[in-house]
């Protein structure tokens, strides 16, 4: 059962609305609190694609739970005073998301307490960014933004005051120590019944997966939730990764002899990765910024994007261009697979039946490297890509191309490197003519299809144009304090 349906039909908490059931509109937004150290970290998520089996030990706050001493809180009052509702169906989702904007528990990765924004410090852009994942079909955004700007955040009561942390953390500690196995009897002629497993160790997880071929693994659930709601998927065996330990951390690994590498746990959310990469890899930050709604990024993971294996996965060209490695754990131990060797076909991965993705290792680009990432879609924000690309290049002191990696998505059954294009560019002068010719070679290397997001001819032209775009941008821009040497 989805969290949204549970809230509405089992708890009669009908303030949570269901509209799209695929995480697009935000009407079903709730605040999800999960333990992080000695506090609860709250973030807005879409309850329509969160399932109850993902939430063991989590604290869910709905719009009904935001009132203070039985009265409207300052965000709700602002929505009333600024006439921030028309039909009102989307309003609870806007209220919940906006409350997260002003609550000090919003940033789960901060090691210091995040102060509540001082009255008057909020900007229209901050409000818009926070509400990116909430749609108003009555086109009532202007009064909603005014409501956000009028909130006196000094009057906000933090969620920790409404719901004391200590008893919740104590209850969670008890739950965390014990794995969960639920087996249901056959229903309606289904001879096998259904099985759910919630492990608390990687060893348990890989053992269970080896014994149950076809297990559907759910962490953030942003992909599988849509398939369940829209295509009627009812997995016979489900395993949740939500309580596997030490997989929700990002670490920066540095040594004297090697370039810095970031290790990303399989449970690290896309929003946490976005914040971490903002200053370290600005190009990746820009892609993650338009990857999806905040509610989606607060649940979805980089590991899930990799495991999904979509040929238009937004993170995959970057990971391939950086020669990232995926750590897989199975009964025989752990091994690493380079991203460029991970995919063996359409949505097929070089993984043994018992293996799980545990961590991703991403080398950071050096100060002398040029890196550009591209996403082409019908909308700039919150849209599935028609074409993606990553181009990573180093020049020698005399201006020649010393090293180059080109990866394209949306041009075949898998995201792919372009070895012929790379071989042509290597050693050439950094000139417009070279990149124009390289684009023609790239066009011949790919086999795109036509679909609802773009025609084959459109993608072929993009494959050619994107190299020229890279050349022109790197000539004009200064990346990491160093401009490309262009004639």
Check pLDDT > 90 for residue 408. yes
Measured torsion, CA atoms of residues 317, 319, 321, 324, in degrees rounded to the nearest 10 = -160
Check pLDDT > 80 for residue 5. yes
Residue written as token pair 């709700």: 76
Distance between CA atoms of residues 273 and 263, nearest Å? 11
Secondary structure element (H or E) that encloses residue 203, with its range: helix 202-211
Say what the pLDDT of residue 105 is: 57
Check pLDDT > 50 for residue 108. no
Residues 379-403, mean pLDDT to the nearest whole number: 92
Looking at residue 448, the DSSP 8-state letter turns out to be -
What is the CATH topology of the domain spanning 367-487? Enolase-like; domain 1 (3.30.390)
Distance between CA atoms of residues 357 and 335, nearest Å? 10
Check pLDDT > 60 for residue 163. yes
Residues 105-123, mean pLDDT to the nearest whole number: 45
Which range among 4-18, 179-193, 237-251, 253-267 shows the weakest confidence by mean pLDDT? 179-193
Looking at residue 106, the DSSP 8-state letter turns out to be S
Looking at the DSSP bridge assignments, the partners of residue 343 are 349
Of the candidates 448, 438, 441, 445, the one whose C-alpha atom is nearest the C-alpha of residue 468 is 438
Q: What are the percentages of helix, strand and coil residues in the chain, rounded to 5?
A: 35, 25, 40
Evaluate whether 334 touches 356 at the Cβ level (below 8 Å).
Answer: no
Distance between CA atoms of residues 100 and 373, nearest Å? 30
Check pLDDT > 50 for residue 110. no
Sign of the dihedral defined by the CA atoms of residues 260, 265, 266, 267, in that order = negative
pLDDT in tens, 21-59: 999 999 999 999 988 888 888 999 999 999 999 998 899
Of the candidates 223, 370, 372, 393, the one whose C-alpha atom is nearest the C-alpha of residue 287 is 372
Distance between CA atoms of residues 405 and 478, nearest Å? 20
Say what the pLDDT of residue 121 is: 64
* CATH class of the region 175-240: alpha beta
Q: Beta strand pairing status for 194-198 and 237-240?
A: parallel
Which range among 37-51, 252-266, 293-307, 454-468 shows the weakest confidence by mean pLDDT? 252-266
The whole-model pTM stands at: 0.91
Token duo for residue 257: 């002899």
Give the SS3 label for residue 479.
Answer: strand
Confidence of residue 233 (pLDDT cuts 50, 70, 90): confident
Check pLDDT > 80 for residue 183. yes
Check pLDDT > 60 for residue 107. no
Looking at residue 153, the DSSP 8-state letter turns out to be G
Provide CATH 3.30.390.50 ranges for the chain: 367-487
Long-range contacts of 257-261 (CB under 8 A, 24+ apart): 259/363, 259/364, 259/366, 260/363, 260/364, 261/361, 261/362, 261/363, 261/364
Q: Got the DSSP string for 25-59?
A: S-TTEEEEEEEETTEEEEEEEEGGG-BGGG-TT-E
Say what the pLDDT of residue 39 is: 86
pLDDT in tens, 135-158: 998 988 999 999 999 998 888 999
Distance between CA atoms of residues 238 and 443, nearest Å? 41
Mean pLDDT, the chain, integer: 90
Evaluate whether 55 touches 6 at the Cβ level (below 8 Å).
Answer: no
Provide CATH 3.30.43.10 ranges for the chain: 175-240
Distance between CA atoms of residues 113 and 120, nearest Å? 20
Q: How many residues does the chain have?
A: 487
Distance between CA atoms of residues 205 and 236, nearest Å? 16
Residues 309-331, mean pLDDT to the nearest whole number: 96
Say what the pLDDT of residue 115 is: 37
CA triple 200-341-449, angle to 5 deg:
105
CATH of 3-172, one of 1.10.287.4070, 3.40.50.300, 1.10.150.120, 2.60.40.10: 1.10.150.120
- In degrees and rounded to multiples of 5, residue 393 shows phi and psi of -145, 145
Residue written as token pair 């789960």: 108
Confidence of residue 286 (pLDDT cuts 50, 70, 90): very high
Check pLDDT > 90 for residue 276. yes
pLDDT in tens, 423-482: 999 999 999 999 999 999 999 999 999 999 999 999 999 999 999 999 999 987 644 444
> For residue 460, how many other CB atoms are within 10 A of its CB?
17
Rounded to the nearest 10 degrees, the angle between the axes of helix 141-150 and helix 74-81 is 130
- Three-state SS sequence of 66-102: HCECCECCHHHHHHHHCCCCCCCCCHHHHHHHHHHHH
Q: Got the DSSP string for 219-238?
A: SS-TTHHHHHHHH----SEE
Confidence of residue 296 (pLDDT cuts 50, 70, 90): very high
Q: In the chain, what percentage of residues exceed pLDDT 90?
A: 75
215-252 b/e (C-beta count within 10 Å ≥ 16 → b)? bbbbbbbbbbbbebbeeeeebebbbbbbbbeebbebee
């Amino acid at each position: 059962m989805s969290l949204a349906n549970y809230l509405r039909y089992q708890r009669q908490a009908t303030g949570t609305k269901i509209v799209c059931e695929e995480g697009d509109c935000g009407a079903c937004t709730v605040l999800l609190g999960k333990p992080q150290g000695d506090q609860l970290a709250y973030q807005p998520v879409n309850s329509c694609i969160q399932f109850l089996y993902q939430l063991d030990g989590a604290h869910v706050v709905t719009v009904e739970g935001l009132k203070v001493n039985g009265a409207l809180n300052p965000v709700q009052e602002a929505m009333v005073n600024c006439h921030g509702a028309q039909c009102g169906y989307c309003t609870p989702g806007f209220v919940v998301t906006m409350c997260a904007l002003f609550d000090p528990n919003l940033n789960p990765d901060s090691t210091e307490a995040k102060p509540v924004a001082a009255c008057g410090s909020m900007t229209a852009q901050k409000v818009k960014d926070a509400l990116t994942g909430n749609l108003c079909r009555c086109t009532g955004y202007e009064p909603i933004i005014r409501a956000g700007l009028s909130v006196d955040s000094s009057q906000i009561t933090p969620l920790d005051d409404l719901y004391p942390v200590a008893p919740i953390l104590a209850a969670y500690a008890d739950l965390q120590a014990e794995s969960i196995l639920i087996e249901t009897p056959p229903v309606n002629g289904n001879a096998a019944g259904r099985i759910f497993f919630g492990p608390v160790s990687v060893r348990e997880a890989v053992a269970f997966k080896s014994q149950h071929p076809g297990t559907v693994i759910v962490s953030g659930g942003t992909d599988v939730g849509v398939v369940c709601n829209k295509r009627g998927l009812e997995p016979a065996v489900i395993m949740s990764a939500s309580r596997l330990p030490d997989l929700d951390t990002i670490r920066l690994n540095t040594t004297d002899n090697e370039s810095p590498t970031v290790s990303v746990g399989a449970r690290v959310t896309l929003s946490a990765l976005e914040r971490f990469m903002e200053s370290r890899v600005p190009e990746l930050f820009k892609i993650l910024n338009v990857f999806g709604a905040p509610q989606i990024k607060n649940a979805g993971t980089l590991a899930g994007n990799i495991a999904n294996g979509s040929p238009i996965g937004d993170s995959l060209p970057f990971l391939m261009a950086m020669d990232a490695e995926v750590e897989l754990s199975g009964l025989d131990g752990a091994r690493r697979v380079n991203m460029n060797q991970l995919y063996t076909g359409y949505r097929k991965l070089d993984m043994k039946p018992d293996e799980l993705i545990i961590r991703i290792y991403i080398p950071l680009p050096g100060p002398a490297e040029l890196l550009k990432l591209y996403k082409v879609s019908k909308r700039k924000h919150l849209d599935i890509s028609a074409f993606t690309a990553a181009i990573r290049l180093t020049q020698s002191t005399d201006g020649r191309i010393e090293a180059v990696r080109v990866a394209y998505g949306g041009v075949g059954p898998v995201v792919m490197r372009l070895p012929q294009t790379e071989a042509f560019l290597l050693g050439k002068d950094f000139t417009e003519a070279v990149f124009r010719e390289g684009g023609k070679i790239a066009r011949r290397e790919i086999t795109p299809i036509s679909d609802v997001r773009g025609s084959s001819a459109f993608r072929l032209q993009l494959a050619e144009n994107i190299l020229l775009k890279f050349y022109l941008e790197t000539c004009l821009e200064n990346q990491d304090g160093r401009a490309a040497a262009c004639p």
